[in-house]
Chain A
Amino acid sequence: MSKPSLKQVWEWLDAVPDPEIPVISLVDLGIIRDVDWQEDTLCVTVTPTYSGCPATSIINLDIETALRDHGVEKLELKRQLSPAWTTDWLTDKGREKLEKYGIAPPQPAGGPKRCPLCGGTDLEKISQFGSTPCKAHWRCRACAEPFDYFKCI
């Protein structure tokens, strides 16, 4: 096969869902740091969200499966730790999808802007940690529902 363009590869990767929050893609999550052809090998550079994130190995497997399905034969996955992943790298599209899904997107202020369920702004933090390493647990006093907040790091 001829070498697919980098733009094409990014599009394929943008169709690979995050295993823990499948409404957003790996590209939305901001963990794909670089895609590059070196001779006839496609190099994909990935950074972990959290050191101990159990999804890391699944993510690598999903990337490999997706690209192989598209006919990429020579593939190299590289791990990059620095610069460390930050929620600033979430795409705008990803932020919108998170909120629609019921997860408040990260805010520079360090807490959710509004309840993703009813839009209420009277909110309280229940715990800095949530169902996955990247989330914190909050509650809305208006609708009384708990919700996940994608914490800002």
Chain B
Amino acid sequence: MADKLNKNDALFQFLLRLGDNTLVLGHRVSEWCGHSPVLEEDIALANTALDMIGQTQFWLGLAGEVEGKGRTADNLAFLRDVWDFRNLLLVEQPNGDFGQTMMRQFLFDAWHSIMLGRLMKSSDQRIADIAEKASKEVAYHLERSADTVAGLGDGTEESHAKMQTALDLLWPYIGEMFVGDEVDAEMVKAGVAPDPASLRDEYDALVGRVLADATLTTPDSKFAHKGGKTGMRHSEHLGHILTQMQWLQRAYPGATW
């Protein structure tokens, strides 16, 4: 890279990562609305999606403020293209069946809850405040996704097999959560955020406990797909999400209620 990353650019990128995670996963989860296996799960998924979209408004709102070019949370959500998104590859993966959706949710919630806990001690008070608010909601998300993963894993022969397949499919996407880069290094230096790698032990312990309850086998591969949080190599799925999520603002620029 020719230009040296300054702290403000790094902070902007870091906030995009947080906001894009909740935006893309919130959108993915909302795809279930009206399609869940039972009414209670439909309501629970819709509420989870809503919390994440709400958190997105805080993160992307702050990102726009930090960037200082007058972009709002809406501008950032609806008017950027794939290569400008900074979410983890995990959250853009398709829903698959209900079990796969809940496995993806659990693998994300576990990381999200640990991350937000650390961010509550951020040197940036605005970040600490949002983390404090979001972590209360995410505690609920995690409780539910962990219970569901355990229940379906330790369920029938069929539900167990589906959950193991989902875990094997999604496992290569968790490594990206713990890989740091120059943005992270800048955040660590400024006391804004933890080193991503420092979350791994707590994550492995938490996930290991739930997967053991679920009678599932943790894959031993450490292979990790990367390129989401840097924006270098998103999967093809993100483009499809954006065509759906952004079409109204693209077709009718500036449309409001």
Q: A: which residues have CB within 8 A of B? A: 48, 50-54, 81-85, 126-131, 133, 137, 153
Chain A residues lying within 8 Å of B132, measured Cβ to Cβ, are 81-84
CA distance in complex: A84, B133 (Å) = 5
Contact B133 A128 (CB under 8 A): no
CA distance in complex: A138, B211 (Å) = 28
Task: Take A51-B57, A52-B50 as given contacts and tell me if A129 and B40 are in contact as well, using a CB distance cutoff of 8 Å.
Answer: yes
Interface presence of B169 (CB below 8 A): no
Pick the contact of B133: A51, A129, A131 (CB < 8 A). A51
CA distance in complex: A104, B102 (Å) = 29
Interface presence of B159 (CB below 8 A): no
Interface presence of B197 (CB below 8 A): no
CA distance in complex: A48, B143 (Å) = 22
Chain A residues lying within 8 Å of B49, measured Cβ to Cβ, are 52
CA distance in complex: A133, B58 (Å) = 17
Q: How many A-B residue pairs have CB under 8 A?
A: 64
Chain B residues lying within 8 Å of A82, measured Cβ to Cβ, are 128-129, 132-133
Interface presence of B53 (CB below 8 A): yes
Contact A137 B129 (CB under 8 A): no
Contact A133 B47 (CB under 8 A): yes
**B47 CB, nearest partner CB in chain A, Å:** 4
Task: Take A82-B132, A82-B133 as given contacts and tell me if A52 and B55 are in contact as well, using a CB distance cutoff of 8 Å.
Answer: yes
Interface presence of B190 (CB below 8 A): no
Chain A residues lying within 8 Å of B136, measured Cβ to Cβ, are 84, 153
Contact B58 A81 (CB under 8 A): yes
Chain B residues lying within 8 Å of A53, measured Cβ to Cβ, are 50, 54
CA distance in complex: A128, B51 (Å) = 14
Contact B58 A51 (CB under 8 A): yes
Pick the contact of A52: B52, B129, B143 (CB < 8 A). B52
CA distance in complex: A53, B134 (Å) = 12
Contact A81 B133 (CB under 8 A): yes
CA distance in complex: A130, B144 (Å) = 13
For the complex, count residues of B whose C-beta is within 8 A of A.
Answer: 26
Contact A128 B128 (CB under 8 A): no
26 of the cross-chain contacts (CB-CB < 8 Å) are A51-B51, A51-B54, A51-B57, A51-B133, A51-B134, A52-B51, A52-B53, A53-B50, A53-B54, A81-B129, A81-B130, A82-B128, A82-B132, A84-B132, A84-B136, A126-B40, A127-B43, A127-B44, A128-B140, A128-B143, A129-B43, A129-B47, A129-B48, A130-B43, A133-B47, A133-B51
Q: B: which residues have CB within 8 A of A? A: 40-41, 43-44, 47-55, 57-58, 128-130, 132-134, 136-137, 140, 143-144
Task: Take A51-B137, A153-B140 as given contacts and tell me if A131 and B54 are in contact as well, using a CB distance cutoff of 8 Å.
Answer: no
Contact B137 A50 (CB under 8 A): yes
Closest to B50 in A: A52
CA distance in complex: A51, B55 (Å) = 6
Pick the contact of B40: A83, A85, A127, A153 (CB < 8 A). A127
Chain A residues lying within 8 Å of B41, measured Cβ to Cβ, are 127
Contacts A83-B132, A127-B40, A137-B40 aside, 20 further interface pairs with beta carbons under 8 A come to: A51-B51, A51-B58, A51-B133, A51-B137, A52-B49, A52-B54, A53-B54, A81-B129, A81-B130, A82-B128, A82-B129, A82-B132, A82-B133, A85-B133, A126-B40, A127-B41, A128-B44, A133-B47, A137-B43, A153-B136
Q: Which of A54, A126, A133 has the most CB of B within 10 A?
A: A133
Contact A50 B51 (CB under 8 A): yes
**A33 CB, nearest partner CB in chain B, Å:** 13
Chain B residues lying within 8 Å of A133, measured Cβ to Cβ, are 47, 50-51
**A152 CB, nearest partner CB in chain B, Å:** 11
Chain A residues lying within 8 Å of B134, measured Cβ to Cβ, are 51
CA distance in complex: A127, B144 (Å) = 9
**A14 CB, nearest partner CB in chain B, Å:** 25
